[in-house]
Amino acid sequence: MTDQIFNWTRRGVLAAGVAMSLVFGAVAPAQAQTPPGVLVVGQIAEPKALDPAAVTAVNDFRILMNVYDGLVRYKSGTLEVEPSLATAWEISEDGTEYTFTLREGVTFHDGSAFDAEAVKFNFDRMLKEDHPYHDTGPFPLAFFFSAVEEVSVVDPMTVSFKLNAPYAPFLSNLAYPTGLIVSPEAVKQYGKDFGRNPTGTGAYKFAEWEANAKVVAVKNEDYWDGAPELEALIYRPITDANTRIAEMLSGGLDVMVEVPPDSLQQFKDDSTFKVLEQAGPHVWFLILNTREAPFDVKAARQAANYAINKKALVIKDGSIEWLENPILLLDRLYHYLNMDFEVGKPARYMIWDHDHDILDAAVGFYKSLEEKLGTADFTAIQKALGSDAAPAGFSGDEWAAVRSAHAGYMAGTELLAVLAHIASSTGFFELAVQPDLSIEIPERLTEESLQKRMAKVLVPPPVAKSDEILAASGGMFYPREAPGMDVFVNEGDHFEAGDTLYIVEVMKMFNKVVAPFAGTIEKVLIEGDGAARWGLKSV
């Protein structure tokens, strides 16, 4: 795979990371000042570690993919899985067991053998808390393999993975950097310091890590897939984008990553650089931290959900266009949450004082601006602010100051658009909940072909026992239709098929769980309202 990535002959490469894509380009040899046969890469930061099971950043993955191999890998330019350290595999009919035939004659960079025991060591280290080297973690992406119940050595070159249920993404996850195979002997030797002393089977061998200066990897002459053309790779952490640009222009770098969008055109317009762009998989996600304020309070999480005001914005070509001022929307949100600023009120129950000062000043600024411009139409206000020409009632200097203040107050409001982007891309705006709590699902989501495709990639819930009824998803458990009303069922109650037993709420979608058969309630496992992993209720 490394040769597929680094198969050029001219030196000097520009890589610009933009959302959902990876961009490369080349510069004429005459400008390069780096050593011959060596590729110098300008990274955005110092690596956290070089243990593939312990890191999550693309910044680290760029190095890891050249030092390690996985059982499988992606074919160049695709998401199709192909053999790597495993030459073949078989999947059981029920989809719960994967058996891999391993590549013969492969050794780790430290000379130790790659075999089935090494594969088992890698996954047991991540997944089993009682493993003697589990303390070399933590392993934040171990959940990629949470479906794995057991890894077994069939023979020295055959290994089997037993899953707790069919899991379609399993092979793809093995191709992800978290699935790269490390040397067990090196882990035993270095322990928690393994991440600073990486040893794999990849096309390049780790040679040096000079803190805040460089990571060096050198050619593996004995690489099983053929020795790479380059003699060495040097990764330099350069956190400041302007410094990376200067280094690239001066010839101090062959590869530059994450070029600021406003600087990319500079390289495109320079004939000595060639910019190549390739779409790649990437997931941007937003997680609400329910352990800390304000999202440790259910009402705050609900408010964040309600805060997506479809009338307040439109999405055009992937960009948010605000129809209402996001600053004023934010001010109303704090009021809706009952988190208005009050002197002496605990900080966790209100907007923080310094945030309040900034927001209050911003609200006052825009209210005053609306009054002076004679309109509260945010679209009209934005149009006026987009012009250098001062409107009536403003001097040139005053208008310049107003435009600067506006730019300052709007800085960072892109974060408010994240939820709207997620809602749009997932079709959330198309869903609706009726007054009777029934869900209105868009017709396109009920298409049989789409249902079948989704069923193949979704992890099914655990199989219910004969005396259990479970919901199709986890969420908040509600035993009654609304506060103050009677619960649907109590212990000892008889129910008929079709009777409502309880409600599970997921993202404000209230799903009634009905009985598929008649029976009697033996025990209620959840008292009152509460989180339920699968909404399980014994009957």
Q: pLDDT per residue over 302-327, tens digit each?
A: 777 666 555 777 777 777 788 889 88
190 falls in which pLDDT band (50, 70, 90)? very high
**Which comes out higher in pLDDT, residue 347 or 333?**
333
Say which range, 222-231, 275-284, 377-386, 481-490, has the weakest mean pLDDT. 275-284
Does 46 score more than 50 pLDDT? yes
Segment 118-125 shows an average pLDDT of 98
Please say whether the beta carbons of 398 and 390 come within 8 A: yes
pLDDT digits (tens, 9 = 90+) for 243-274: 888 898 888 999 888 777 777 788 888 888 87
Task: Assign domain 63-185 one CATH number from 2.40.160.40, 3.90.76.10, 3.40.50.620, 2.40.50.1020.
Answer: 3.90.76.10
Give the domain 1-44+203-283 fold: D-Maltodextrin-Binding Protein; domain 2 (3.40.190)
Q: What is the pTM of this model?
A: 0.54
529 falls in which pLDDT band (50, 70, 90)? low
Say which range, 137-146, 190-199, 413-422, has the weakest mean pLDDT. 413-422
Q: Which amino acid is at 135?
A: D
78 falls in which pLDDT band (50, 70, 90)? confident
Task: Assign domain 451-538 one CATH number from 3.40.50.720, 2.40.50.100, 2.60.40.2890, 1.10.10.10.
Answer: 2.40.50.100
Boundaries of every domain in the chain? 1-44+203-283, 63-185, 298-417, 451-538
Q: What are the φ and ψ backbone dihedral angles of 40, each rounded to 5 degrees?
A: -105, 120
Whole-number Cα distances in Å, 516 to 62, 467, 490, 521: 51, 11, 18, 14
* Alpha carbon distance 87, 84 (integer Å): 6
pLDDT digits (tens, 9 = 90+) for 413-445: 777 777 777 777 666 677 766 666 666 777 777
User: Can you point out the beta strands (E) in 289-442?
Assistant: 313-316, 319-322, 432-433, 439-440
Does 291 score more than 80 pLDDT? no
**Paired tokens of 144:** 């990629």
- With residues binned 3-state (H G I as helix, E B as strand, rest as coil), the percentages for the chain, rounded to 5, are 35, 25, 45
* CATH topology match: 63-185 vs 451-538: no
At residue 465, the pLDDT reads 56
Please say whether the beta carbons of 97 and 163 come within 8 A: yes
